[in-house]
Amino acid sequence: MQRVLSSDLWKTVTAQAKKAKHRQAAIAYVTEDYLNLRSGDVLVVDASEATIRSGGTDANLLNEVHQRGVQLYDCPDLHAKVMLLDDVAVVGSANMFQSSGSLVEAAIITDQSSIVSGVASFIEQLKRNPMRLTSDKIAELCKIEVIRRGGFKGAAQGNLKNPVKRLGNQTWLIGVHDLVRESPADEQRKIAQAASKLEVEEHELSWLRWKADSKFARECRAGDQLIQIWTRAGAKRLIVCPAVPVLLKQKSATWTRFYLGSPSKRQQELPLGRFKRLLEDLDYPKRIGPSIAQLVQPEMADAILKAWKAAVKSS
């Protein structure tokens, strides 16, 4: 799926959000909940005092969705309008604002995995820098007198350094295997730090470790996606895991760790033999095996993922 939306933007997005199991969004100005946000969802907004006072973001609405269990974050100077609805991304111009329906807006909605990976990483990076909106903070925002004067200026520009690093949009095909030894104490501390940044329990983290001096460790970035040929401990055959986004890259002198998102619910693992036949049908130019780290050209990556979906659907 890949479409440009305009007059049907919020109608289409609202319908997609209703079907999704999990919704994440970074939208600068919010006075309406067109996503029907629920417990466990994520919303990053500009909830600065200036924006609340001028009516750009509605503190009472923030309080309402917070009561539902939505994770809220304040990012002053935010101007993005991106959403992640399971494995569908929306990138465009529209705020969740009452007047959005009367403005000329545009957005692209896509399930192209490289875009989905980039949006997932973008939102994760925003979450690590703004302030988490607690009940007490939201109560303070609700006390601010709103003075609408035909528009709002938002937060003062240039106060904050952009928290998002340059996002990757590449696809890598890599061989991985289970570690047979427990990570030493210093690495366990780094894993704990990553869990804290990503706001998940350590046992829920999916990560891989790579030698720091390798090309893959140097060039792979948050926002890239990985297709993994996985050698499971004790397993007789290799499997290939669906593409997942890199959410966080963590460097040390010896190792570089990559923390990964979850695979699409619509994709399944493939046996290595079947994956090789899929690549042969696409005239993939390189040999593959359990010890590779290959950068896949964008057109080929899209073709692989399209053929993968077709293979799973036909099985």
pLDDT bin (cut points 50, 70, 90) of residue 158 is: very low
Q: Among 54-68, 133-147, 259-273, 283-297, which stretch is predicted with the lowest mean pLDDT?
A: 259-273
Q: With 90 as the cut, is the pLDDT of residue 254 above it?
A: no
Comparing C-alpha atoms, which of 193, 185, 184 is closest to residue 259? 193
pLDDT tens digits along 190-227: 889 888 888 788 888 889 999 999 999 999 988 889 99
pLDDT bin (cut points 50, 70, 90) of residue 149 is: low
pLDDT for res 187: 82
pLDDT bin (cut points 50, 70, 90) of residue 109 is: very high
pLDDT for res 204: 83
Q: Average pLDDT of 136-151?
A: 81
Q: With 60 as the cut, is the pLDDT of residue 150 above it?
A: no
pLDDT bin (cut points 50, 70, 90) of residue 313 is: confident
Give the chain's mean pLDDT.
85
pLDDT bin (cut points 50, 70, 90) of residue 112 is: confident
pLDDT for res 164: 58
pLDDT for res 102: 66
27 contacts 96 by C-beta, under 8 angstroms: yes
pLDDT for res 155: 45
**For residue 227, how many other CB atoms are within 10 A of its CB?**
24
pLDDT bin (cut points 50, 70, 90) of residue 65 is: very high
Structural domains of the chain sorted by starting position, each given as residue range(s) with its CATH number in brackets: 2-142 (3.30.870.10), 171-314 (3.10.590)
| 70 vs 42: CA distance, rounded Å | 6
Q: Which residues contact 49 (CB under 8 A, 6 or more apart)?
A: 141, 144
| 259 vs 299: CA distance, rounded Å | 25
**For residue 24, how many other CB atoms are within 10 A of its CB?**
26
Comparing C-alpha atoms, which of 25, 123, 31 is closest to residue 81? 25
pLDDT for res 157: 46
pLDDT for res 252: 86
Q: Which of 31-45, 144-158, 263-277 ranks highest by mean pLDDT?
A: 31-45
pLDDT for res 265: 59
12 contacts 109 by C-beta, under 8 angstroms: yes
